[in-house]
Amino acid sequence: MLLKAIDLENKINKENFEILQELKEKNIKVKLLSIRVGDDYGSILYEKSLEKTINSYGGEYIKLIFNEDDNENEIIDQVKKYLDDDSIGGILLLKPFKNKELESKLDDIIDYKRDLDAVNFRSKAKIYDLDFSGHVPITALASLELLKFYGYDLTGEKCLVINRSQVVGIPLSLMLLKENATVTIAHSKSKDLKSLIKNNKYIFTAIGKADFFDSSYFNSQNIVVDISTNYKSGKVTGDVLFDDVVDKVSAISPVPGGVGRITKSLLIKEILSYYL
Ligand SMILES: Nc1nc(=O)c2c([nH]1)NC[C@@H]1CN(c3ccc(C(=O)N[C@@H](CCC(=O)O)C(=O)O)cc3)C=[N+]21
């Protein structure tokens, strides 16, 4: 089965437009601030996707872009200036980038209420507590929502998460735990990914290597959620060599047209809630 985004995306977008109508009546304009340091491909793609969407909502997209070697204090000062503007309903710090010290400082100046991807220490503490009532990392949420939309119940199921980042692997693993799944976390240094994949039913991958997993990795029980957006030969592609794998597995989400599209719609949903 193909776990495509379109029906769930339409459902979320419909709800979003209804909220937007309410906001328009109150003369409220939606404003999103994103911060990028460096030139990560997925981040640039996300920016383009968000820009189009925010514009279609008549909102405003404020995009801050810095180089990896820009002065750290200047970056922080610039960001702080925008944070004073409380007409901005959501703040997104795009990841990954190299400077971890700067990343951590930026994470924690983003205030909790507008912390769309739950990077601030208070947001993270709630997630650690398996309390997902505030903002949660949207890509992780999108992966889970896509499966739920197609009726999958993760209770007691073996799930393998191939990623250990703050915005994908860690929060997704905790969200899966909350769904009563049995979770294994793998990463770039994991040995024998093949047998790990064969020993699990649900495979969530965000290793960021274009077309890395061919059909030899999977069996007919696997349900594959491809979270990555990589670039290869002028095209957007996931971690899974889709054409080779699609007929072998039980279900797979495509890239593009899968998790990324849900992520974008859910981000809009999250930011709209600030203004209600
Ligand atoms: N803090 C943080 N949170 C993120 O969620 C995050 C991030 N940093 N850094 C970069 C990656 C990448 N990412 C995408 C989300 C949606 C699309 C998207 O809209 N994709 C569409 C369109 C792609 C196209 O233009 O073909 C699709 O897959 O169908 C792409 C990429 C979020 N990321």
243/143 same-domain check = yes
97 CB under 6 A from ligand 1?
no
91/154 same-domain check = no
State pTM to two decimals: 0.97
Contact 106, 72 (CB under 8 A): no
> What pLDDT was estimated at residue 176?
98
> What pLDDT was estimated at residue 218?
98
* pLDDT tens sequence across 168-178: 999 999 999 99
Q: Is 269 a member of any domain?
A: no
* pLDDT tens sequence across 105-142: 999 999 999 999 999 999 999 999 999 999 999 999 99
255 CB under 6 A from ligand 1?
yes
Using pLDDT thresholds of 50, 70 and 90, give the confidence band for residue 97: very high
Q: Which of 34, 139, 266 to mutate to test ligand 1, by most ligand atoms within 8 A of the CB atom? A: 139
138 CB under 6 A from ligand 1?
yes
Phi, psi of 115 (to 5 degrees): -85, 75
Contact 165, 204 (CB under 8 A): no
107/206 same-domain check = no
Q: CA 273, 274, 276 angle in degrees (round to 5)?
A: 65
Which domain CATH number covers 99?
A: 3.40.50.10860
> What pLDDT was estimated at residue 13?
97
Q: Which of 60, 85, 117 is the last residue of a domain?
A: 117
Which domain covers residue 103, as residue numbers? 27-117
Q: What's the CA gap between 197 and 162, in Å, rounded?
A: 9
Average pLDDT over residues 29-41: 97
223/112 same-domain check = no
Lookup: tokens for 14 = 């419909």
Q: Is 16 a member of any domain?
A: no
256 CB under 6 A from ligand 1?
yes
> What pLDDT was estimated at residue 67?
98
Q: How far is the CA of 229 from the centre of ligand 1 (A)?
A: 6
How does 221-243 read in b/e, with b if 16+ C-beta sit within 10 Å?
A: ebbbbbbbbbeeeeebbbbbbbe
DSSP per residue over the chain, as a string?
-B--SHHHHHHHHHHHHHHHHHHHHTT---EEEEEEES--HHHHHHHHHHHHHHHHTT-EEEEEEE-TTS-HHHHHHHHHHHHT-TT--EEEE----S-HHHHHHHHHHS-GGGBTT--SHHHHHHHHTT--SS---HHHHHHHHHHHHTT---TT-EEEEE---TTTHHHHHHHHHHTT-EEEEE-TT-S-HHHHHHT-SEEEE----TT-B-GGG--TT-EEEE---EEETTEEE-SB-HHHHTTTSSEE--SSSSHHHHHHHHHHHHHHHHH-
> What pLDDT was estimated at residue 29?
96
167 CB under 6 A from ligand 1?
yes
* pLDDT tens sequence across 210-230: 999 999 999 999 999 999 999
Using pLDDT thresholds of 50, 70 and 90, give the confidence band for residue 43: very high
Q: Which of 12, 47, 49 to mutate to test ligand 1, by most ligand atoms within 8 A of the CB atom? A: 49
117 CB under 6 A from ligand 1?
yes
261 CB under 6 A from ligand 1?
yes
Q: Is 180 a member of any domain?
A: yes
> What pLDDT was estimated at residue 162?
98
Average pLDDT over residues 254-258: 98
168/249 same-domain check = yes
229 CB under 6 A from ligand 1?
yes
> What ipTM was predicted for this assembly?
0.97
- Tell me the average pLDDT of the chain: 97
pLDDT more than 70, % of the chain: 100
How does 10-24 read in b/e, with b if 16+ C-beta sit within 10 Å?
A: eebbeebeebbeebe
* Closest atom of ligand 1 to CA, residue 267: 5
Q: Which of 61, 88, 117 is the last residue of a domain?
A: 117
Q: How far is the CA of 161 from the centre of ligand 1 (A)?
A: 18
> What pLDDT was estimated at residue 180?
98
139 CB under 6 A from ligand 1?
yes
Tally the domains of the chain.
2
171 CB under 6 A from ligand 1?
no
Q: Is 228 a member of any domain?
A: yes
Residue nearest to atom 30 of ligand 1 (CA): 46
Q: What's the CA gap between 87 and 125, in Å, rounded?
A: 26
Angle, helix 138-149 to helix 169-178, in steps of 10 degrees: 40
Contact 237, 230 (CB under 8 A): yes
Q: Is 2 a member of any domain?
A: no
Using pLDDT thresholds of 50, 70 and 90, give the confidence band for residue 83: very high
> What pLDDT was estimated at residue 209?
96
Q: How far is the CA of 228 from the centre of ligand 1 (A)?
A: 8
